[in-house]
Chain A
Amino acid sequence: DAGVIQSPRHEVTEMGQEVTLRCKPISGHNSLFWYRQTMMRGLELLIYFNNNVPIDDSGMPEDRFSAKMPNASFSTLKIQPSEPRDSAVYFCASSLGQGRNQPQHFGDGTRLSIL
């Protein structure tokens, strides 16, 4: 079975450029989560969607960050303009919706470096 698929796996770009990260959740999962992982702060939830609707974006650090989920099989996280402090590994995860304690399944992440 295909897991959560993220692209690109690595992204290196210059400060000020727009960055778009992509995620395809597991088929049939209707909750999708975007996380950021750094050495200092660990895994932090940025935003999550249920049935393609954003439910909680309180973790989005600034207006420079935005996320969309146009359909059940695709989501994007966009940073515009990017800054060096945005460098981190960004993970997407999906789960079976509001069911009790459904585990989240993670992709292998996008390692983002902003120069």
Chain B
Amino acid sequence: EDQVTQSPEALRLQEGESSSLNCSYTVSGLRGLFWYRQDPGKGPEFLFTLYSAGEEKEKERLKATLTKKESFLHITAPKPEDSATYLCAVQDGGATNKLIFGTGTLLAVQP
């Protein structure tokens, strides 16, 4: 059964303090790993798709990386506006477009 586990559940950083969020997955034939950002009262907002081990994607202060078992979302010199819940999801090698989501990491960046 496909499974996604995110850690830590919550993370508090000082502005400028870099860190990483982890997403471990078990899936039969990964077709894609997705990162989303969710602000309170909003729907998840798409950030990145990673397709294969070794791939990296960057957007502003965020960089996502992928191995055969996990993905990291690195946050460099975060700002308070980076505070949000970050969700990871996987799509397996089957014929459907289903995503399996982790429960997210709640990030708080203090000024």
Contact = CB atoms under 8 A, between A and B. Distances in A.
B103 A42 contact: yes
A37 B44 CA distance: 11
Interface string A10-37: 0000000000000000000001010000
B45 interface: yes
Interface residues of A, number: 26
Contact-residue bracket for chain B:
20 to 34
Contacts of A93: 43
Contacts of B46: 103-105
A56 B99 contact: no
A45 B98 contact: yes
Interface of chain A: mostly helix, strand, loop or mixed: strand
A108 B41 contact: yes
A88 B70 CA distance: 29
B42 interface: yes
B91 interface: yes
Contact of B98 (A56, A100, A102, A103): A56
B56 to A, nearest CB: 16
Interface string B68-91: 000000000000000000010101
B43 A106 contact: yes
Contacts of B100: 45
Interface string B40-53: 01111110010100
A45 B99 contact: yes
Given A91-B43, A97-B97, A104-B99, 10 more contacts: A31-B97, A33-B99, A42-B102, A42-B104, A43-B101, A56-B96, A100-B32, A101-B31, A101-B32, A104-B46
Interface of B: 31-32, 34, 36, 41-46, 49, 51, 87, 89, 91, 96-104
